[in-house]
Amino acid sequence: MNESLLRELVPAVIGVLVRRGADFAAAEDAVQDALVEAVRVWPEDPPRDPKGWLVTVAWRKFLDAARADVSRRHREARVEDEPAPGPAGAVDDTLQLYFLCAHPSLTPASAVALTLRAVGGLTTRQIAQAYLVPEATMAQRISRAKRTVSGVRLDRPGDVATVLRVLYLVFNEGYSGDVDLAAEAIRLTRRLAARIDHEEVAGLLALMLLHHARRPARTGPDGRLVPLAEQDRGLWDTRLIAEGVEVLQAALGRDRLGEFQAQAAVAALHADAPTAEETDWVQIVEWYDELVRLTGSPVARLNRAVAVGEADGPRAGLAALAGLDPALPRHTAVTAYLRERDGDLATAARLYAEAARSAPSLPERDHLTRQAARLNARLRG
């Protein structure tokens, strides 16, 4: 093992952790723990990307330490209210913290933001991206939330809907971002579903399982993003799909539809299609209609436009986009896709390139750049 390389990488890795939100001392401690792990693991299994390996392990060490510290402080704050000694069931401290941070004195938006920052370990920038707001706005929201709860005891758990929004955002960050929290979000949602008989808890669990089942096919061997239509469906985890569908069917059978059940129904229709061409886009549009009715979300309307474009043709999809704000994330990429479907390759190529410049992740940026290059090559040919 190259010890000089390890020493050279330490400052850069610490810098990455600090930029993600760790204070310098905590970052140093996490990197030292990662170095110990490297000394143990690398001689038998050297990584292809030493810096990436160190960043990943150090960040996980930092999150573990941060969660343990938050858990300890909350246990100390609650010590006077602890019950008398006796038999007790298993307690998931992390799940309890999610509930505690969803305090009744906070608005749902502030509770989600605070929980993601204090418990989930996400940076302010990552939370802002999930909320589609500027980073400065999110920083102010988190600061206000901290001030709000600074003088109260976190002994009244928040509502289930807020906790579900937290888990959903954590899952999405783990699924597409640079912090792998997807498995943790699924674990916590399973525990929540085992403790709470709530159709939307089941709906969220089904949604996570169905999306997670496609994870092995989302990227190619070279790390490139693979769109849903091009994925090798033989790589999808059929066990997770079957579980997700079963959980969803039980939730829908209660006839109390919520947004997570509607999203899971869309995911189930994708999972049910043997090929992309056999996708039931008409039903998917109907489920997006329900989702828009339930939430009014512009993101749901954007996804609905894609489904309309598949079900009724690209011009119908473009018409569905007409009332949406062009500044909406991925609006430009969706427009590019529908323009290409409609045969306007020059406009599509320009829009793909424009979308690439504002893509939220490197894999997505690379994918959109390749799409633009592909169309430009066809236009030159």
Residue 57 vs residue 207, higher pLDDT: 207
pLDDT band at residue 78 using 50, 70 and 90 as cut-offs: very low
Residue in 100, 156, 161, 110 with CA at minimum distance from that of residue 133: 110
| pLDDT value at 91 more than 70 | no
pLDDT attached to residue 324: 95
pLDDT attached to residue 27: 81
| pLDDT value at 81 more than 50 | no
pLDDT tens digit string along 359-375?
Answer: 888 889 999 999 999 99
pLDDT attached to residue 88: 34
Q: Mean of the pLDDT values across residues 115-121?
A: 77
Of 127-136, 149-158, 304-313, highest mean pLDDT: 304-313
Q: Mean of the pLDDT values across residues 15-29?
A: 78
Which stretch of 108-112, 234-238, 280-284, 371-375 has the lowest confidence by average pLDDT? Answer: 108-112
Of 58-72, 101-115, 167-181, highest mean pLDDT: 101-115
Q: Which two tokens stand for residue 215?
A: 């994870």
pLDDT attached to residue 306: 97
| pLDDT value at 303 more than 80 | yes
| pLDDT value at 299 more than 90 | yes
DSSP state string for 333-369: HHHHHHHHHTT-HHHHHHHHHHHHHT-SSHHHHHHHH
pLDDT tens digit string along 186-241?
Answer: 988 998 888 888 999 999 999 999 999 999 999 888 889 999 999 999 999 999 99
Cα–Cα–Cα angle for 199, 201, 206, rounded to 5 degrees: 95
Which stretch of 43-52, 157-166, 330-339 has the lowest confidence by average pLDDT? Answer: 157-166
d(CA 365, CA 241): 29
Q: Mean of the pLDDT values across residues 4-33?
A: 79
Residue 114 vs residue 297, higher pLDDT: 297
Residue in 177, 309, 189 with CA at minimum distance from that of residue 244: 189
Look at the chain and count its residues. Answer: 381
The single residue listed with the structure tokens 């043997």 is 274
pLDDT band at residue 157 using 50, 70 and 90 as cut-offs: low
Q: Indicate yes or no: pTM above 0.85.
A: no
**333 to 256, 277, 317, 319: CA distances (angstroms):** 34, 21, 13, 15
Q: Mean of the pLDDT values across residues 20-48?
A: 80
pLDDT attached to residue 26: 78
Residue 287 vs residue 77, higher pLDDT: 287
Strand partners, 225: 219
| pLDDT value at 95 more than 70 | no
pLDDT attached to residue 266: 97
pLDDT attached to residue 90: 45
pLDDT tens digit string along 344-364?
Answer: 999 999 999 999 998 888 889
